[in-house]
Amino acid sequence: MLTPSRDNPRLQALLLQLPAGLRQHIERVREKALELAKLHGVDTVKAEVAALAHDLARGMEEDELLRRARAYGLTLHPVEEVVTFLLHGPVGAEMLQRECGIEDDEVLEAVRWHTTFNRGMGPVAKVVFLADKLEPHKVQVYPLLEGVVSLAREDMDAALLTLLQEEIISMIRLGRLIHPASLEGRNELLASQKDSRR
């Protein structure tokens, strides 16, 4: 089993094949993930590797994502069959494991669930989900995120809950499908927040 490392040659080779704009986004996510990991005492090596790998499959066409998901034997949720783009996390995690030899569960779950989030996520997955949504370019495009950027420095769970709730509300308004993993993640965060207030 390979220890996760940003210098993994196979990972670096896969990253080099990605379009320039996507590589720039990944670099911003890497920096944000390192910042959050340091602030919250999360393993910086795992956070960095997961951030680098999170969008390995983001550049793939929909039919390629579906083809790979089936070839890897992934069980597709009906929402993923319609919103195929959601598969880039699970397919990316499979690539990281199968092609780069990275077996670390925390890194793999961070890549797998970086788009929808899920319940039971560990600190590395929380850092990567937040870093992906709060990297500077996205905050520039959506200035309302600035408040969540500060919140994420103080309390990752509170920032995650805010982001997930906003996203779920906006998906409902837009009449879009919601992946149940996002709801499960949101419910878990909400319940633990209420528990800690008791």
Q: Which residue pairs from 7-12 have beta carbons closer than 8 angstroms and sit at least 24 positions apart in sequence?
A: 8/49, 8/100, 8/101, 8/102, 10/99, 10/100, 10/101, 11/49, 11/52, 11/53, 11/96, 11/100, 11/102
Binding site for Fe ion (CB under 5 A): 55, 58, 132
**Closer by beta carbon to Fe ion, 58 or else 179:** 58
Shortest Cβ 119–Fe ion spacing (Å): 19
**Closer by beta carbon to Fe ion, 132 or else 188:** 132
**Closer by beta carbon to Fe ion, 84 or else 190:** 84
Shortest Cβ 191–Fe ion spacing (Å): 26
In the structure encoding, which two tokens stand for residue 24, read together?
A: 């720039």
- Residue 78 CB neighbour total at 10 angstroms: 10
Buried b / exposed e across 10-46, counting CB within 10 Å, b at 16+? ebeebbeebeeeeeebbebbbebbbbbbeebebbbbb
**Closer by beta carbon to Fe ion, 55 or else 94:** 55
**Closer by beta carbon to Fe ion, 42 or else 56:** 56
Shortest Cβ 27–Fe ion spacing (Å): 11
